[in-house]
Amino acid sequence: MSWRQLEQGELLSHETVITDKMAGAFVKLSDYNLRSLSYLNWAGTEKIGGKLHLTNYRLVFTSNSFNRVVGTFSIFLPTILEITNTSFLVDRRIAIRTQAQVFEFQIWGIPEFTARIVSTRDSIDAKTRKQLAGIITKEYPKLGEDFKTSGAAMIKVVEGAASFVQILEGLSHDGNPLRKLLHSQSAPTISSILNVVEMLGDTKKE
């Protein structure tokens, strides 16, 4: 199997990789029009094998090439509200909760990795958050090739939210480049866009 490393061109300005771990990200079958494979899809989910990278700005999950769903997605550290150990017996899992979503990963070495995430998140002050918001709007293509879903459906849901439109309108004087991302041929998943909105929306409130 091939678990790729993050390349320099995928990192945002002033972003560095702190550590990474083999991990599995759980996705809903219904989000990707996948057919159940019996016992492999308990509770209507599927584990996507890959790596979870911790940087000074975000968590980045990169899948390996042997999954039915492939790609990457990010969770910006300032949006993380809680990390819960949801392990049962030998199945080691964490749930990462933001204001709008819950991301679940199968991973080992949970206490140490969780502590590393929390300490890195807590080291990001208000000034750095504001700088990061500016970097995101300028360097959004570096967020990666996200897990694929229906771009048209995603745009309808996201742009139907008044708060999202207000955030887009207020982020820059010359128009926000994130609009191009929404309407691109390889638009990102609803989960990735929601996390960007959480990050930018919270920064705007400050």
- Whether residue 115 sits in one domain with residue 17: yes
Is residue 143 included in any domain, yes or no?
A: yes
Is residue 188 included in any domain, yes or no?
A: yes
To which H or E segment does residue 137 belong? Answer: helix 126-138
Residues with Cβ within 8 Å of residue 89, at least 6 apart in sequence: none
- Whether residue 94 sits in one domain with residue 133: no
Residues facing 60 on adjacent strands: 53, 74
Q: Which domain holds residue 158?
A: 126-205
End position of a domain, from candidates 122, 152, 186:
122
Is residue 83 included in any domain, yes or no?
A: yes
In sign, the C-alpha dihedral spanning 67, 72, 73, 75 is positive
Q: Where residue 57 sits, what CATH number does that domain have?
A: 2.30.29.30
Q: HSE (CB half, 13 Å, CA atoms) of 60?
A: 28
**Looking at residue 157, what is its pLDDT?**
38
Is residue 1 included in any domain, yes or no?
A: no
- Whether residue 164 sits in one domain with residue 106: no
- Whether residue 118 sits in one domain with residue 134: no
- For every one of its 206 residues, what pLDDT tens digit does the chain have, with 9 covering 90 and above? 455 678 888 899 999 999 999 998 887 665 555 565 655 545 666 677 789 999 999 999 887 776 666 678 889 999 999 999 999 888 899 999 998 888 899 999 999 999 999 999 999 999 999 999 889 888 877 776 555 543 333 344 344 444 444 544 544 444 444 555 444 444 445 566 677 777 877 665 55
Burial of residue 39 (CB within 10 Å: 0-12, 13-18, 19+) is: exposed
